[in-house]
Amino acid sequence: MAETALVTGASSGLGEQFARQLAERGYELILVARRKERLDKLAGELPTTAHVIECDLANEADELFGKVSKLGVDVDLLVNNAGFGNHARFLDIEPASDAEMVRVNCEAVVILTHAFLPAMVERGRGGVITVASTAGFQPLPYETTYSASKAFADTFMNALHVELKGTGVKALSVNPGPVPTEWQGIAKIPEASIPPGSISAEECVAQSLKAYDRGKRSVVPGFLIRNMMRLNAPAPAGIKLRVTERMYRPPEG
């Protein structure tokens, strides 16, 4: 019997790639996002059974478990991929937008993991993959709430990985660097602010799934960005903040 993976934010970018590559591995899919028409199109292209659930995780995360239960399938792999960011001075950002980001990037991850993890532990198999970001490895001026939300996601998954040892259930934190997707446009990030070392969404997901297969706790997909993060780690926090402030500073006007 095929295993089933639930992928949030499956309508584009990394979520779409997780769906495609997991389908190629023989998983049945539960595709979750706000844009149902995109999910329907993707479901029709996958070589497997794919269920579509329209859901706004900013406001409906606690309703998703009930919707999935009506499908009569067990979730063997939860991919917490949905998320968004913004790029501006904190005082220029609408408070409601920042609050919504925290609900999607942090709260929904906790709600869905609480909802689907117990049954995996009971069965003694399964896993959770959460897409965090290298943005969570240090504070980022002008992506203040976003970098904090991704630090939360990475910390949450690292601790969960340790708690799940011996249960047969895996937990992996995926920390991409720059991956060209719709994310940059939504966040309004100038091209000049995007650091080097970008890789494709396809390659990012392929490396992430390879790390999941090996039972890794965390992965930074991409050779260049992974080694940049290693070299950057020992630098004093004050110096890193000054450098990132210049790199990420929005244009005037």
For the CA atoms of 181, 8, 56, 154, the dihedral, rounded to the nearest 10 degrees, stands at -80
The pLDDT, as a whole number, for residue 246 is 86
Average pLDDT over the chain reads 92
What is the CB-side half-sphere exposure of residue 220 using CA atoms within 13 A? 17
Q: What is the pLDDT of residues 28-87, one digit of tens each?
A: 999 999 999 999 999 999 999 999 999 999 999 999 999 999 999 999 999 999 999 999
Q: 87-110: per-residue pLDDT in tens?
A: 999 999 999 999 999 999 999 999
Q: Tell me the whole-structure pTM to 2 decimals.
A: 0.92
154 has pLDDT over 60: yes
Given a cut of 50, whether residue 145 has pLDDT beyond it is yes
Asked whether the predicted pLDDT for residue 205 surpasses 70, the reply is yes
Number of neighbours of residue 14 by Cβ within 10 angstroms:
26
Taking only the tens place, the pLDDT of each residue in 110-140 is: 999 999 999 999 999 999 999 999 999 999 9
Contact (CB, 8 A) for 81 and 14 = yes
* pLDDT at position 187 over 50: no
Catalytic-role residue among 27, 142, 146, 212: 146
Cα–Cα distances in angstroms (integers) from residue 62 to residues 67, 104, 109, 113, 127, in the given order: 10, 12, 11, 11, 20
Residue range 218-227: mean pLDDT, rounded: 90
Which of 74, 78, 81, 61 minimizes the C-alpha distance to 128? Answer: 78
Residue 157, classified by CB atoms within 10 Å of its CB into exposed (0-12), middle (13-18) or buried (19+), is: buried
**In the annotation, is 146 catalytic?**
yes
Phi, psi of 77 (to 5 degrees): -140, 120
pLDDT band at 196 (very low <50, low <70, confident <90, very high): low
pLDDT at position 190, please? 54
For residue 218, is pLDDT > 70? yes
